[in-house]
């Protein structure tokens, strides 16, 4: 009989708020992040980068750098594997330019030296001859006839004929007849929206320490969201066997999607192989902005028809995403998320993935969804305003629920949007009066969430405590969640469990910490691993009692006979069984390896009050409430933290943050002074409401919470500002100059 | 290149080091003294992750040269706890989950400790403006501000 600990109520540990297990390390400064590793004989590396947005590399002369005292190795593209194609080929091309530099900041060479100062001096001594080519950085301009071609033949088979070669992927879906739907509407609103590229803005720059020998064996320490992926990519870029490279994930100083790919690790390993010494490579902040993976910028058109009673009759959206110099902008996800909250008879969405001379975009928390929500939820707000409808009642009237055919095809299982919207309506914030100069905005948001390849191993110690090895880097307290779930199944205290992030040599493949998958997938795997250990504990008890294994059950840390027929035995505590496990059959461990596919989608709705200063155009967020379906909050404090963090990043995206490119194609604001993320004095407290509509695909109902929280803010804040100033805000960020322009246009009215 | 000999005190202990005149205090703390609690988030004084005190004054250690530490008293996150007893701020940061990834935490602890020494009864606005030079990208600051306010209240009661 397989043990099944599935439940959605009656928890002892799950849902409590204990201190995180790594708390002490994090408040004393001893937690080791990417740049905190040192090795004997270690060299320091630096990367030479293109100052041009688009240029042919004619010649690289490294002789002067190599001749410098203390310089031990220089690498260029010639020091990496050849013949790579597809995903790995693109990553290598991004890690180190081949024939062309494709954006300002693209790596062209690298140096390892005995000190960081020497390495920095040495890259200045590398001479690169460029033939400058015409460039393009804007998404709409990159699609125009005559735009410079970033890379010929990069488009895949999805792209219809007749489009510019910079359009590299195309997505289209929907159902019904949108024209017929628009004809049924009492009001149709169509608008054009623009968003700028933003950066995840993790405070820890990319950092690694690599050692690689001529025997093809290597060790790599790095800050990453997924070290098995790093292992795979680095092995390909350097021509190694994957298993010969052991990768250890450091503590990670934020990622938000930006550390799901590879930028510098193959460079450190190539330098190490050449110098035969460990090499440390740390990006500067300016390099992080210029040469890691920001979001796509977008150009979007959305058209929605509505009846006077608030029924949406049809919806159509076109989403153009600028993804930098490589394919991969999330055009499908943007289009799929756009209308997901709504039950629509007629819907049609199109997405374009467009290349430009910018760094290759990377994931940023629900990639694509925040931008789509900005466009769609702005149009819904406009419709509600013009028809005099309540924004929550209107969304409730059209809300997706169990059995609804989703805008992109599937039929929704049990989802929690209606419960979320009802919680918004019941929240005191929704009915609170506004002051003069303030506006309120509402928005829904949607994210898929993800399962993915997962392996977890659990081992019991003689004293009845447990150690759990998981493969998903802990980016925001997940070790606490894993320990709570293991405690719940084993029936031992939370404090008796130690959770470790295993390296690639000690556990099977684990997909990246992305897609809000860690508490869902590693959590499910932890529960299953604990269940398999419990089954062995029960078997040991059964053997001791001389009764069948299935006549023993597990409760609250004890093996117990299942009833009077099983026999009359004193329950055996876990530590009584583990104390003698060496003599009763050997170590007791549990493990689980699978690709869980029951991830539960999640919806959120945010309420924002914004106040606009009419003299400066500066917007202040004065009140903010996040309502989101978590499925089940394993550690509610860290769930609240995810809600608050997503909202804060959304506030920055909506009001301040943007990549600014000059006419020369160079990034103008590659630092935290000019790329301004929200600081403590910019923000109010962020109120949270956790809705719990259990996900049937997880034993305890977990949906995953990390990403959905950034989906509504752009739209909610834009709606609040639009309602405050009386002008529809169609372009992000809503920086003061842009708000002033809106106020002036309203006055000219 | 010739190096400069520097004698200074870090967290109460006398230390000596040789450094290149171009090295920052942050470089020296991390690479020469192996005190990696202070982090480099930007190297330009914008993020506050490298916050330390120099003779009691809160500074970004990335904006000071190592040679300037001569004869000074430096305080870092490693010196906040007394033996095995955490500072009340450290304890509250754990209890309130005032950190997610934890990379900004050392700088924020050094900064808020300096605040509470200067002003034991700050308003929420005063805490927010004092911390405006310490970027946190994970938390939205909510739980950080609450942890600091509660620590201040508790320390006032205890004194």
d(CA A345, CA B83): 66
Query: What pLDDT, on the 0 to 100 scale, is given for residue A749?
Result: 66
**Mean per-residue pLDDT, B48-53:** 98
Q: Is the pLDDT of residue A1 over 70?
A: no
pLDDT of the residue at A746: 84
Euclidean distance between CA atoms A380 and A471, whole angstroms:
42
Interface contact B140-A22, CB threshold 8 A: no
Mean pLDDT, to the nearest integer, of B115-128? Answer: 98
Q: Which of A392, A395, A348 is nearest to A607 (CA)?
A: A392
| Nearest beta carbon to residue A28 from set B31, B90, B137 | B90
pLDDT digit string (tens) for A538-554? 999 999 999 999 999 99
For B94, the closest of A19, A673, A685 (CB atoms) is A19
Model confidence, pTM: 0.98
Query: Which residue in chain A has the smallest CA separation from B95?
Result: A19
Give Cα A506 to chain centroid, integer Å: 25
Confidence category of residue A345, pLDDT binned at 50, 70, 90: very high
Closest CA to A239 of A214, A221, A222: A214
Question: How far B47 CA sits from the closest chain A CA (Å)?
Answer: 7
B131 touches chain A (CB under 8 A): yes
What is the ipTM, given to two decimal places?
0.98
Q: What are φ and ψ of residue A389, in 5° steps? A: -105, 150
- Indicate left, alpha or beta for A588 from its phi (over 0: left) and psi (-120 to 50: alpha): beta
Q: Which of B31, B42, B139 is opposite residue A645, by nearest beta carbon?
A: B139
Cβ-Cβ pairs closer than 8 A, A with B, add up to 186
Separation CA B148–CA B156 (nearest Å): 12
B71, two tokens: 């004869």
Query: Cis peptide leading into A599, omega within 30 of 0?
Result: no
C-alpha span between B80 and B69 (Å, rounded): 19
Q: Enter the tokens of residue A233.
A: 């990519």
Q: Which segments within A409-461 are labelled E, that is strand?
A: 438-447, 454-460
Question: Average pLDDT of A657-671?
Answer: 98
Half-sphere exposure of B139 (CA within 13 A, CB side): 29
pLDDT tens across A260-289, in order? Answer: 999 999 999 999 999 999 999 999 999 999
Q: Distance (Å, rounded) from C-alpha A112 to C-alpha A284? A: 16
Among A429, A628, A600, A463, which residue's Cα sits nearest to residue A524?
Answer: A600
- What is the rounded distance in angstroms from the CA atom of residue A339 to the CA atom of residue A641? 27
Q: A277 is written with which tokens?
A: 């010494």
- What would the mean pLDDT of A473-490 be, rounded to a whole number? 97
Q: Which residue has the tokens 């409590």?
A: A16
The whole-angstrom separation of Cα A174 and Cα A304 is 14
The position carrying tokens 């303030």 is: A438
Length of chain A: 749
Closest CA to A103 of A297, A361, A299, A362: A361
Look at residues A375, A297, A367, A301 and name the one whose alpha carbon lies nearest to residue A658: A297
Which residues in chain A are closer than 8 Å to B23, comparing Cβ atoms? Answer: 117
Q: At what angle do helices A86-95 and A227-238 cross, to 10 degrees?
A: 80
Q: How confident is the model over A131-135, as a mean pLDDT?
A: 98
Residue with tokens 């004989």: A41
Average pLDDT, chain A: 97
Q: Mutate which of B102, B107, B130, B149 to disrupt the A interface (most A C-beta within 10 Å)? A: B102
Q: How far apart are CA A154 and CA A268, in angstroms?
A: 28
Mutation target for B interface from A203, A477, A495, A713: give the one with most B CBs within 10 A. Answer: A203
To 10 degrees, what angle do helices B142-158 and B88-95 make?
140
């Amino acid at each position: 009989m397989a043990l099944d600990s599935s439940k959605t109520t009656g928890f002892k540990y799950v849902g409590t708020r204990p201190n995180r297990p790594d708390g002490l390390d994090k408040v004393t400064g001893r937690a080791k992040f990417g740049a905190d590793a040192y090795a004997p004989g270690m060299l320091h590396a630096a990367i030479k980068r293109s100052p041009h947005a688009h240029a042919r590399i004619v010649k690289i002369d490294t002789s002067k750098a190599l001749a410098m005292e203390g310089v031990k190795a220089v690498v260029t593209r010639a020091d990496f594997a050849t013949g790579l194609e597809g995903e790995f080929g693109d990553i290598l091309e991004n890690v180190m330019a081949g024939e062309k530099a494709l954006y300002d900041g693209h790596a062209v060479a690298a140096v390892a030296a005995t000190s960081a100062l020497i390495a920095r001096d040495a890259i200045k001594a590398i001479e690169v001859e460029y033939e400058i080519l015409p460039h393009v950085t804007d998404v709409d301009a990159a699609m125009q006839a005559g735009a410079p071609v970033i890379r010929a033949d990069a488009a895949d088979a999805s792209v219809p004929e007749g489009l510019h070669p910079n359009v590299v992927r195309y997505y289209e879906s929907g159902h019904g007849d949108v024209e017929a739907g628009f004809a049924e509407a009492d009001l149709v609103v169509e608008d054009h929206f623009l968003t700028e590229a933003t950066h995840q803005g993790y405070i820890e720059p990319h950092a690694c320490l690599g050692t690689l020998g001529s025997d093809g064996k290597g060790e790599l320490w790095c800050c990453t969201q997924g070290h098995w992926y790093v292992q795979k990519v680095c092995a390909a870029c350097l021509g190694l066997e994957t298993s010969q490279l052991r990768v250890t994930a450091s503590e990670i100083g934020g990622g938000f999607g930006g550390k799901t790919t590879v930028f510098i690790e193959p460079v450190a390993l190539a330098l190490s192989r050449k110098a035969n010494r460990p090499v440390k490579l740390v990006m500067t902040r300016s390099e992080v902005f210029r040469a890691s993976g920001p979001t796509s910028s977008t150009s979007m058109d959305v058209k929605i028809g509505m009846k006077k009673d608030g029924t949406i009759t049809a919806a159509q959206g076109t989403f153009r995403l600028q993804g930098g110099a490589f394919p991969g902008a999330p055009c499908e996800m943007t289009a799929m998320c756009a209308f997901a909250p709504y039950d629509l008879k007629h819907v049609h969405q199109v997405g374009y993935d467009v290349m430009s001379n910018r760094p290759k975009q990377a994931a940023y928390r629900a990639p694509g969804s925040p931008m789509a929500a900005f466009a769609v939820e702005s149009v819904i707000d406009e419709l509600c305003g013009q028809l005099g409808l309540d924004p929550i009642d209107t969304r409730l009237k059209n809300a997706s629920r169990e059995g609804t055919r989703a805008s992109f095809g599937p039929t929704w299982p049990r989802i929690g949007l209606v419960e979320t919207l009802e919680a918004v309506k019941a929240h005191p914030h929704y009915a609170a009066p506004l002051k003069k100069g303030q506006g309120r905005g509402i928005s829904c948001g949607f994210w898929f969430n993800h399962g993915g390849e997962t392996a977890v191993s659990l081992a019991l110690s003689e004293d009845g405590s447990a150690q759990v090895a998981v493969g998903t880097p802990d980016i925001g307290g997940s070790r606490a969640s894993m320990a709570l779930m293991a405690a719940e199944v084993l029936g031992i205290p939370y404090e008796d469990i130690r959770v470790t992030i295993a390296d690639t040599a000690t556990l099977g493949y684990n997909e990246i910490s992305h897609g809000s998958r860690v508490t869902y997938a590693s959590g499910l795997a932890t529960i299953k691993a604990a269940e398999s250990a419990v089954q062995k504990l029960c078997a040991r008890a059964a053997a001791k009692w001389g009764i069948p294994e299935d006549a023993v059950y597990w409760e609250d840390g004890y093996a117990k006979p299942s009833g009077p027929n099983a026999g009359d035995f004193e329950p055996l505590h876990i530590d009584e069984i583990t104390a003698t496990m060496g003599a009763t059959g050997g170590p007791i461990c549990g493990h689980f390896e699978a690709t869980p596919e029951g991830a539960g989608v999640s919806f959120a709705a945010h309420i924002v009050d914004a106040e606009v200063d009419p003299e400066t155009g500066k917007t202040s967020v004065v009140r903010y409430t996040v309502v989101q379906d978590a499925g089940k909050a394993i550690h509610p404090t860290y769930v609240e933290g995810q809600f608050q963090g997503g909202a804060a990043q959304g506030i920055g995206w909506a009001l301040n943050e943007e990549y600014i490119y000059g006419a020369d194609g160079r990034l103008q604001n590659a630092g935290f002074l000019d790329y301004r993320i929200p600081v403590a004095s910019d923000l109010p407290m962020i109120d949270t409401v956790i809705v719990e509509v259990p996900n049937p695909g997880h034993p305890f109902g977990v949906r995953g919470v990390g990403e959905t929280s950034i989906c509504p803010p752009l739209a909610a804040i834009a709606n609040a500002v639009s309602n405050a100033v009386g002008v529809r805000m169609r372009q992000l960020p809503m920086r003061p100059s842009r708000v002033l322009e809106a106020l002036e246009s309203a006055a000219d009215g | 290149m010739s190096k400069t000999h520097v004698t200074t005190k870090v967290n109460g202990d006398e230390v000596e080091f040789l450094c290149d005149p171009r090295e920052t205090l942050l470089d020296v703390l991390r690479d020469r003294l192996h005190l990696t609690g202070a982090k480099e988030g930007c190297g330009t004084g914008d993020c506050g992750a490298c916050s330390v005190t120099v003779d009691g004054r809160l500074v970004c250690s990335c904006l000071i040269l190592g040679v300037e530490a001569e004869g000074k008293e430096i305080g870092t996150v490693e010196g906040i706890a007394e033996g095995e007893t955490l500072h009340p701020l450290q304890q509250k940061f754990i209890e309130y989950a005032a950190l997610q990834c934890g990379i900004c935490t050392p700088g924020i602890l050094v900064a808020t400790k300096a605040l509470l020494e200067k002003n034991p009864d700050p308003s929420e606005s005063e805490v927010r403006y004092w911390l405006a030079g310490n970027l946190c990208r994970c938390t939205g600051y909510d739980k950080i501000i609450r942890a600091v306010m509660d620590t201040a209240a508790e320390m006032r009661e205890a004194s």
